[in-house]
Amino acid sequence: MTPHISSKKEDIAKTVLCPGDPLRAKYIAENFLENPRLVNSVRNMLAYTGTYKGRNITVFSSGMGMPSMGIYCYELYKFYDVDTIIRIGSCGAYDEALNIFDTLIVEKSYTEGNFAKALNNKDCHLIEADEYLNSVIKQTSTEENIKCISANVLCGECFDYYVDDLQVLLDRLPKDLHITAAEMESFALFYTAKYLNKKAACLLTVVDSHYKKQEISSEEREKSLNDMINLALESTLKL
* Cα angle 187-231-79, degrees, rounded to a multiple of 5: 50
DSSP string computed for the chain: --SS----GGGS-SEEEE-S-HHHHHHHHHHH-EEEEEEE-GGG--EEEEEETTEEEEEE---SSHHHHHHHHHHHHHHS---EEEEEEEEEE-STT--TT-EEEEEEEE-SS-HHHHHHS----EEE--HHHHHHHHHHHHHTT---EEEEEEE-SS-GGGSS-HHHHHHHS-GGG-EEEEESSHHHHHHHHHHTT-EEEEEEEEEEESS------HHHHHHHHHHHHHHHHHHHTT-
Say which of 83, 95, 160, 208 is annotated catalytic.
208
Establish whether 164 is a catalytic residue.
no
Residues designated catalytic:
208
